[in-house]
Amino acid sequence: MSNQPILQVQEVTKAFGGVIAVNGVTFDIFEKEILGIIGPNGSGKTTLINCVTGFINVTSGKVLFRGKNITGRPAHKIADMGITRTFQIMRPYYSLPCYKNLVIPLFSPRAKRTGGWRGGGKLGDRDTVGIDILEEIGFERDSFVPYKIASTLPTGYLKRLELARCLALKPEIIICDEIFSGLSMSEIASMVPLIERLQMDGITLIMIEHRLRELFRVSNRILVLNFGEKVIEGTPEEVMADEKVKEVYFGSEKAEEVMSHA
Amino acid sequence: MNIEQRRKERLDRGIKVRTDGLYALMSWRELSYLTLPRLVLIVGMLTLPFIMPSMYWQRVISIVCIYALLAMSFDFLAHFVGLVSLGGALFIGVGGYLAAIMNTYFGMPPLLTIPIATVVGAGICTLFLLPCLPLRGVYFAIVSLMYPLALARVIEALDILGGTDGIMGIESFGNRWVEQYFVILMVLLFLFGARRLVNLDIGLVFRAVKDNDQAVRASGMSITFYKAVAVFIASAMGCMGGASLVHIYMWSGISLLALDFSILPIAATVIGGAGTLVGPVLGCLILVPISELLRAFGTLRIVFYSLILVAFIVFRSEGIMVYGQRKYHQFERWVKI
Ligand SMILES: Nc1ncnc2c1ncn2[C@@H]1O[C@H](COP(=O)(O)OP(=O)(O)OP(=O)(O)O)[C@@H](O)[C@H]1O
Ligand SMILES: [Mg+2]
């Protein structure tokens, strides 16, 4: 791990009119790290990554990628640099077969430069590269699954397809917005090794999750948000032991209430 | 036979044939099944000038082709890129005036003015429309509708480019056969070109821009850029039509910026079948001659367009071509139960 963080988020604030969705959040992430972001519903997690990836403009604050200021750049430029994301509400191309879903990201300038996930700088036939990526990510090549229309697939495959869309760009950072939600325990269990493999491949990951148990298992560090502010940042053990986090998740009054009922 | 004892059975003709080109080479029947519709279209278009009863109707064929270019351009933008364009008049006007200027002021022949007007005109139209490309929603439609209206008033008020009289004395194609076959070939060229384009990988990107623009941005591609490319292609079709039109009429005036050029192609697309690219051509082949027959009624013709349009939207919203394709690829028969 180099000393310079791959991504630095400095005092990022986003206000929607009167609502301050993200309030002065600062964190760094180093290469090949997995950073988990947790927080109750509406605590500003999605808004924060929308700010980082350029999908919305920050109200104030800075985002640095390898020391370079990328605040305010358009979303497609940021993706072109290698910072990709999945969407909390999945956005596959529903009317297309799965492998054709990947033809679109493979058409991008970045894919042309890098050749796709495993590509060595030269992009082959997009259909073939697309099927290769799908196979690596758990679509059985010899089955019909890669050729099926996306709208007919179960959630588990669609979540993988979201990841595959990022991988087609050969990204440096993938930001996953609730990639485990809506999946069964067994689907999550098969997804965890995939995440670990991406990390081994040298990809830096930011994972927003509500499924704390699995997240704590894969993450190197955890960031907790509440009402748009950073509550604590630390290793999974530190975060789990923290009093403030318990308060955030159960609420001090509610905790007392629960106690009195007990 | 009692009606209740039979039902209509629908069978899909050669799914294999359509899903994989290789199978088509296996038998003549399947090969002709695939090529027949194209052949009918090409041969039909090419024989049109011969079967027209008079020179007047031959001229109508040329006009049909101009409208067909506009209708394809509308269908391409609306169905494959998700931009609803009311800019037919803008494309015709820009292409037409450019060709007129090059021909009368600089003495360039149609052989030069038409290609230059197509490319330069498409560039100008794209620049005009660029500001509203990043926006979603109805802005594109509104802006593309406003430009021709505004340009007509500007030409009128400043009395430039011939003012209300227009530019006269533009060189003709020289020969009416050359004229007709030129526009017919252009329609066929752009039709097959556009159909090819939408099936390429870039065609998938265009459709993705329409259906799922956020995912396209997340894939590192600028939506504005791809919209601009599509608008360039579509306006090239329109400008090509406009440039041909001024050489046909030997005159260029503010009626090139008239609303008909924006509205009729849309009606033709609805009638012919949106999203097929052939449908709009078919729609023009039906609508434009009818509109010529009704010339005596003057502006009342618009009532007629509206009636046809409403009738089609209510009874056959899929359009002739979509209906026809379905019938062609499936065949139906009555079976006893
Ligand atoms: N476009 C918007 N306009 C106005 N307010 C918004 C907008 N997007 C988000 N918000 C508000 O910002 C706050 C944070 O929302 P955000 O979606 O970032 O939360 P989250 O942590 O991702 O929640 P969840 O866990 O439910 O996904 C919420 O109060 C939300 O109502
Ligand atoms: Mg969220």
Q: What is the pLDDT of residue B20?
A: 47
Distance CA A150, CA A98 (A): 5
What domains are there in chain A, each with its CATH number? 1-82+174-182+204-262 (3.40.50.300), 88-171 (no CATH)
Distance from CA of B224 to the nearest CA of A (A): 10
Average pLDDT of B263-289?
A: 90
CATH number of B316's domain: 1.10.3470
A170 and B CB contact within 8 Å: no
Whether the predicted pLDDT of B1 surpasses 50:
no
Tell whether B1 is covered by a domain: no
Q: What is the pLDDT of residue B136?
A: 83
Distance CA B203, CA B201 (A): 5
Return the residue of A nearest to B206 by Cα: A104
pLDDT digits (tens, 9 = 90+) for B164-173: 888 888 888 8
Tell whether B330 is covered by a domain: yes
Ligand 1 and A54: CB distance under 6 A: no
Tell whether B238 is covered by a domain: yes
Mutate to test the pocket of ligand 1, among A12, A14, A19, A53 (most ligand atoms within 8 A of CB): A19
Whole-model pTM: value is 0.88
Tell whether B229 is covered by a domain: yes
A97 and B CB contact within 8 Å: no
Whether the predicted pLDDT of B330 surpasses 80:
no
Highest averaged pLDDT of the listed ranges A155-159, B72-76, B153-157, B294-298: B72-76
A126 and B CB contact within 8 Å: yes
Whether B220 sits inside 8 A of A109 (CB atoms) is yes
Q: What is the pLDDT of residue B8?
A: 64
Q: Which pLDDT band, with edges at 50, 70 and 90, does B296 fall under? A: confident
Instruction: Kindly provide the b/e burial profile for residues B173-198, where b requires at least 16 CB atoms within 10 angstroms of the residue's own CB.
Output: beebeebbbbbbebbbebbeebbebb
Q: Which pLDDT band, with edges at 50, 70 and 90, does B160 fall under? A: confident
Give the domain range for residue B214: 6-336
Domain count within chain B:
1
Tell whether B227 is covered by a domain: yes
Whether B211 sits inside 8 A of A95 (CB atoms) is yes
pLDDT digits (tens, 9 = 90+) for B114-124: 999 999 999 99
Least confident segment among A127-141, A157-171, B142-156: A127-141
Return the residue of B nearest to A110 by Cα: B220
pLDDT digits (tens, 9 = 90+) for A120-136: 667 778 888 888 899 88
